[in-house]
Structure 1
Amino acid sequence: MSSRLLIDVHNHVYLPRYASLLRSRSNAPRILSRLAVSGGTEERLLILDHEPSGGRPVGPQYWDRSEKLKFMDLHGIDISIVSSANPWLDFLSASSAVDMAKSLNEDLEEYCQTSPTVSLSLKRLYGFGLLPLVPSVSSNSLVQIVDQISSLPHLKGVIMGTRGIGKGLDDEALNPMWEAIERKGLVIFLHPHYGVGKEEWGEKENGHVLPLALGFPMETTIAVTRLILAGVLDRYPNLRLLLAHSGGALPQLSSRLASCIHHDPVVASRLKHDARYYLGKLWFDAVAYGSEELEFVGKVVSRATRYKSASAPTETDVPQSNKLLFGTDYPFFPPLEAQNEKWRSVLDNLEAINGVESWTQDEKDNVLYQNAIDLFGLNQSKA
């Protein structure tokens, strides 16, 4: 594809069927109505119990496709890979989660399939399907939903949290799921939900800052480290994992992780490669908000191929921008003032990409659109 595009791989939707489910609940996660400060009523999304401010205000931008397209037009975004937002389905019973996943995947396919086109071969919207990752769900059910997602032409992957079916992503009961996802060539978008224990944040009121800025990235860091330590990426080397929020602290801590593994007899011989090698097997969204942070992630991931063999490291690095993809985190972090102004969160991430001085324009274009085209096979999409 020769023309330049802007592709957003990290943005969310609460499909109407799912929003209705959340409205029907009396405890978190739920959507509740309450009196607004300005008068009348407002809806608020309560994802976890005891959230600051009683959750966050929600409105049409959370489920109305026309609002998403208006947002895309405002910011010059050509294509969005849409994912259902957290919380996912782990608060349901196994049978209810399976039924809801099937229905929401069909809903998301229609949401994308009936969207406008960018060209004769590309829609403006594609999606990540949902898996019924809840305790007691059977491996057969997970594999069946993987098969369903792969049969829906506008769904390019799956979104999942970090708890698997209750014990984490290093749970061996997930092996059939990993095998099925790898076989179908679906992209896994790994996104945090629970953060870390609220006792870490102390008693001072700090709003959402600590859970979102630190808790979410650390949840991802721990989950992916456990995945690596369990040998999942050795058993399924063709899995394609895209990590939210630029991989959390994993790039910063990867060499420390490698050193600890080397010196720990419990895990020293468990992996086929140096721990840093596995970062080169991952993809990272570019939701880092700063050029220096983004360049650092690119450098760490670039040098990962050197560590394929601990005894004979290579000297060949991949381009720094090859595993990074632009994202917005819509509909979160909207403007605080006028509704029609551009979102600072989006502008920050665009400026971060364009501000990396060591990258050529081609390398920046990788992050803005080309990596997404390659990862999701969008050249091969049919409108």
Structure 2
Amino acid sequence: MASRKLLVDIHTHVYLPRYASLLRTRTSVPFIRSSTTRDGKSEERLLILDHEPSGGRPVGPQYWDREEKLKFMDRHGIDVSVVSTANPWLDFLSASQAQILASELNDDLEQYCSTSPDVPDVSIKRLYGFGLLPLVPDITTASLLHAVDQISNLPHLRGLIMGTRGIGKGLDDEALDPVWAAIEKAGLVVFIHPHYGVDGKSWGDKDNGHVLPLALGFPFETTIATTRLILSGVLDRFPLLRLLLAHSGGALPQLSSRLASCIDHDPVVASRLKHDARYYLGKLYLDAVAYGPEELGFVSDVIARSKKFETGTSVTGSLTRSLGSQQMLFGTDHPFFPPLYSTETWKSVVENLEAINEVQGWGQSDKEGVRGGNAITLFNLTK
């Protein structure tokens, strides 16, 4: 356990060199395209979604070079990062390709983390990671269980990142039950992260760049996927499963009471769950990538009140948002959304830290927990 207060970033991505090399060989999404700018300079652009605005995003060493990750951390006072391969992970590969690459990338990420420097004066590494499962259609259960076992035996991988499609049918697919069971037994944290958004027709014909797909589509995707997972009874069958949701859980906190009301009026679903739907939000961990103190405060209220919705509970009255803060963790979404000028600090760092600091009803210990203490505990961050 750290003897001083640490800033821990749990939402930070990397395209490991092996993964980036694969993307350079491709000619359809996802891929990295090389081109020459008007002034004759070579440029690489990453395309991970159909119809990427501006022909994709410019990429460079900050996407795959560990020293660039550490420089970013140093510049912003981040002590530890729990790094994850960025979307779209292995979704575009065949089962055989995904199985091989998952194993290789998990070993690569272990090397990336295990050879990172220590936090000064603290006996932990600066980098830990989320591994990958080959979650693609036609993959065998044995292959998935082998990947879970691999991750659980790599000492600097403390969880795994997972998209919302599972092995093709979503996270509520019963075929994933053996995988959930293995993850629960291994004590790994599952970071659920969006990639596909929602039907693009919803955005209309006006060119709004990437704003609607990223600001709304990604969180809506997380909301739908997590709600389906709850409705399927996964959290009843695997009560010790630890799920971390990107982007503060999307719209799920805001819509959780409406969800509970709809369930009450649908006996098919109501009979399937052991508790009121609002109870399950207290089983989740959420990143604090919300950019505003009011949003963070509201989310922590929703988490805190969940205890009142456990079947048979004697808890009544109001529960403080301080309680909800214990399941929220700081993140930056690096290397996405960089500053426009090289002299600027990243808004994703500055604004999210300011938001944490300004939440009304969080004491100093709550804020320190969200900034790093909760991550130290959740991921058992030791050397």
Q: Sort the TM-score into its range (normalised by shorter chain).
A: over 0.9
Secondary structure at the aligned position of 1:105 is classed as helix
Which of 329, 333, 337 aligns to 2:337? It is 333
Q: Which residue of 1 aligns with 2:9?
A: 8
1:185-228 Cα deviation digits (max 9, x unpaired): 00000000000111111111001000000000000000000000
Distance 1:120 1:300, change over 3 A: closer
Cα deviation, residue 314, structure 1: 4.1
Cα deviation, residue 311, structure 1: 7.9
Counterparts of residues 18-97 of structure 1 (less than 5 Å): 18-97=19-98
Is 2:14–2:86's contact at 8 Å kept on the other side of the alignment?
yes
Is 1:274–1:308's contact at 8 Å kept on the other side of the alignment?
yes
Identify unmatched segments of 5+ residues in structure 2.
none
Question: Residues of 2 paired with 1:311 and 1:125: CA distance?
Answer: 40
Secondary structure at the aligned position of 1:347 is classed as helix
One-letter amino acid matched to 1:321: S
Are 1:369 and 2:372 an aligned pair?
yes
Deviates more, 1:223-232 or 1:53-62: 53-62
Question: Residues of 2 paired with 1:371 and 1:127: CA distance?
Answer: 16
Q: Which residue of 1 aligns with 2:173?
A: 171
Question: Residues of 1 paired with 2:15 and 2:145: CA distance?
Answer: 24
Cα deviation, residue 116, structure 1: 0.5
Is 2:294–2:359's contact at 8 Å kept on the other side of the alignment?
yes
Secondary structure at the aligned position of 1:320 is classed as helix
Which of 319, 322, 332 aligns to 2:326? It is 322
Which of 228, 233, 253 aligns to 1:231? It is 233
Is 2:3–2:122's contact at 8 Å kept on the other side of the alignment?
no
Question: Residues of 2 paired with 1:23 and 1:310: CA distance?
Answer: 56
Question: Residues of 2 paired with 1:39 and 1:314: CA distance?
Answer: 67
Distance 1:37 1:350, change over 3 A: farther
Is 1:307–1:314's contact at 8 Å kept on the other side of the alignment?
no
Number of aligned positions between the proteins: 379
Counterparts of residues 1-383 of structure 1 (less than 5 Å): 1-118=2-119, 119=121, 121-309=123-311, 314-315=316-317, 317=319, 319-337=323-341, 339-378=342-381, 381-382=382-383
RMSD: 1.3
Cα deviation, residue 41, structure 1: 2.4
Deviates more, 1:317-326 or 1:198-207: 317-326
One-letter amino acid matched to 2:200: K
Is 1:75–1:342's contact at 8 Å kept on the other side of the alignment?
yes
Cα deviation, residue 37, structure 1: 4.4
Question: Residues of 2 paired with 1:175 and 1:320: CA distance?
Answer: 28
Is 1:10–1:326's contact at 8 Å kept on the other side of the alignment?
yes
Question: Residues of 1 paired with 2:37 and 2:201: CA distance?
Answer: 30
Question: Residues of 1 paired with 2:242 and 2:225: CA distance?
Answer: 15
Question: Residues of 1 paired with 2:115 and 2:77: CA distance?
Answer: 20
Question: Residues of 1 paired with 2:134 and 2:248: CA distance?
Answer: 25
Question: Residues of 1 paired with 2:243 and 2:237: CA distance?
Answer: 14
One-letter amino acid matched to 1:157: G
1:258-302 Cα deviation digits (max 9, x unpaired): 000001122111100000000000000000000001100011111
Cα deviation, residue 49, structure 1: 2.0
One-letter amino acid matched to 2:104: S
Deviates more, 1:356-365 or 1:98-107: 356-365
Question: Residues of 1 paired with 2:183 and 2:14: CA distance?
Answer: 23
One-letter amino acid matched to 1:249: A
Distance 1:186 1:89, change over 3 A: same
Question: Residues of 1 paired with 2:264 and 2:162: CA distance?
Answer: 30
Question: Residues of 2 paired with 1:312 and 1:164: CA distance?
Answer: 37
Cα deviation, residue 35, structure 1: 2.7
One-letter amino acid matched to 2:350: L
Is 1:108–1:127's contact at 8 Å kept on the other side of the alignment?
yes
Question: Residues of 1 paired with 2:70 and 2:315: CA distance?
Answer: 47
Question: Residues of 2 paired with 1:23 and 1:314: CA distance?
Answer: 57
Cα deviation, residue 316, structure 1: 7.1
Distance 1:79 1:129, change over 3 A: same
TM-score (norm 2): 0.97
Question: Residues of 2 paired with 1:366 and 1:86: CA distance?
Answer: 28
Cα deviation, residue 23, structure 1: 0.4
Distance 1:292 1:38, change over 3 A: farther
Question: Residues of 1 paired with 2:336 and 2:78: CA distance?
Answer: 16
Question: Residues of 2 paired with 1:310 and 1:299: CA distance?
Answer: 21
Question: Residues of 1 paired with 2:98 and 2:60: CA distance?
Answer: 25
Is 2:133–2:148's contact at 8 Å kept on the other side of the alignment?
yes
Question: Residues of 2 paired with 1:107 and 1:295: CA distance?
Answer: 38
One-letter amino acid matched to 1:280: G
